[in-house]
Structure 1
Amino acid sequence: MNINNMKKTMPIIFTTLLLSYSSMLFAANGNIANSLAQCYQEIGDNPRTQIADCLKVKLVVAEKNMNESLLKARESLAAVDSSATKPALESLATSQKDFIVYRNSECQRQSDTLLGGSGAGDIYLACQIEQTEMRTKTLQEK
């Protein structure tokens, strides 16, 4: 295979590997692949680099929803006249800080599994979306 053929086939190979990896993540965790798949579909024939922009928009929406749920949880706790209200509010604040640390660490771990591949940033963002959506659901349920 000559250099020109390699230059033509490398993007195809990379895309195939990234989609395969996305499929594996989907089997383990549907939202990550779902976010990636949605962004791939939304960008269509545009450059693959636009996936990150799409994922960033989805992350902003997910974080906005999480922050709204966090505010509602705080307000709900603050409305209770109890000696346990203050510790409950402190626990909520601590758990949110700990969640952010966990989310960032876990998503870094997942992106590192690509061993520096160009899709690592996309995996990181998609993971953050998924983790943030799970946190929002938890805040809404309890």
Structure 2
Amino acid sequence: MSDDPKIEYLPVVEETALLAIQKVVTGRVRVATQTEVLDHILPAELSSVEVNVMRVPVDRKIEAVPDGVTEGELTIIPVVEERLVVTRELYLREEIHVRRVKQSETVEVPATTRRQTARIERLPALNKDDQDDL
């Protein structure tokens, strides 16, 4: 350093900061689930088809075997026979009428389902001594 009285010196000072992070437990939560079994009665639509068969005597002479016929829900099935006469003739002996009748009914079907619920319980924070044990 010089001995010159006109020169002054200023010391340079620097401050530094340190940041430390500390984990602190402020509270706890306990979650418990419970499964419930629920019984339900579920509606179900059942349908069925009933078939009524009726024989209808005809006994009429025909020239050719008729085809089966379906008219809506009615099906007609021809039944023929050959009869020996001096000549062979075709007779419609009978028809079988088959009618479909739809029926529906609602039934109750028992069913079991499961549902879970959650219970949440808030607990106090642990003491500092207890946190060190974790």
Compute the TM-score of the two structures, normalised by the length of structure 2. 0.17
Bigger CA radius of gyration? 2
Greater share of helix:
1
Q: Which has the higher contact order (CA 8 A, sep 6+)?
A: 2
Normalised by the size of structure 1, how large is the TM-score? 0.16
